[in-house]
Amino acid sequence: MKAWQCRSSPDPVEKRLFISPAGIPMPTITDDQVLVETYSAALNPIEHKILELGLAKKLIFRSPVTPGMDVCGRVARIGNKVDSFRVGDMVYGACDGVFGAGSLAQFVPISKHSIALVPEGLEPDDMASIAVVGMTTYQGLKPHAKAGSKVFINGGSGGTGTVSIQIAKALGCHVTTSCSTANIELCRSLGADEVLDYKSGDLIKQLQSKGRVFDMVLDNVGSPANLYKVSHTFLVPNGNFVQVGGGMSLSDFRQLGANMIVPGFLGGGKMKYTFVTAKANAACFEQLAAWMKEGKMRAVLDSTFQFDEAPKAFARLKTGRARGKVVVRVRQA
């Protein structure tokens, strides 16, 4: 079958992607897996960040690897212990990506616990676009947010932010988010009650001017670097700071480590801090699909690329200016 693979080298990921003329073997599946014929795949920043880690990636990954964690497609085969799906079903969810088998391939094996049925009438591009970001932000928001909670979402216009706003609203929250001037109307159209323009003034000062009013912060960005450290000035006393995104530079890892282990009396943050390590589960994807069907969520696509344009898709993602998700159409539905 055809699949994009990424070889190990110091070049940018878009320069290292290739399709072998001979193809790669068709994946086999275990008893608990399904084989999905990929229709659409969506890209996540974590993928190019991992693939560009330098020497560290050689210690973690085999080479070459097939990227792609978001997938939507049709079930082509089921394992012996799969009774919740049938051949021909349209499904979406999360696959292993660079950690195993990625969705930038014509077929991908996926655990039965990591997918859900696609509601009739919804598009593969749209469903692929909400999978990983929806799973991650839902698991970040759900334990802490409830109807009436005041939530600040740091970074509202990217692939994660556009989904975060909608999930928080579906949970009944009052949502304040941040973005650049150009994306204010996008965030408002997704349901944000208030939008802070970080281009027009210091974001932390804008938050502090409101007082200690937020029940929760969902940080999709990881910057400003001191956002968590000063979060006690705008979170309620029992508030939660939840981080789902950030960079992968050495300084980013140092900041993450400090957030997790340095106590407030030694100069660290004073509020409860959680870094989300999401785990794919069918119930989560079923809830997201239900909201899509009900119109409580919609996909926000920055751009779509054909299968042979996957390197261009990664180049677009790496600009950091994508408004919503970048999708690769592996097969025409």
Tell me: the pLDDT tens digits for 215-245? 999 999 999 999 999 999 999 999 999 999 7
pTM surpassing 0.85?
yes
pLDDT band for position 141 (50/70/90)?
Answer: very high
* 289, pLDDT greater than 70: yes
Q: Is 313 exposed, middle or buried, given 0-12, 13-18 or 19+ CB atoms closer than 10 A?
A: buried
> 328, 39, 317, 331: which is closest to 160 by C-alpha?
317
Mean pLDDT confidence for 25-30: 96
* Per-residue model confidence as pLDDT tens digits over 66-102: 999 999 999 999 999 999 999 999 999 999 988 889 9
Residue 107: phi and psi, rounded to 5, are -140, 145
Specify whether the CB–CB gap between 41 and 71 falls below 8 A.
Answer: yes
Give the 3-state secondary structure of residue 23: coil
Q: What is the pLDDT of residue 252?
A: 62
Distance of CA 81 to the CA centre of its chain: 29
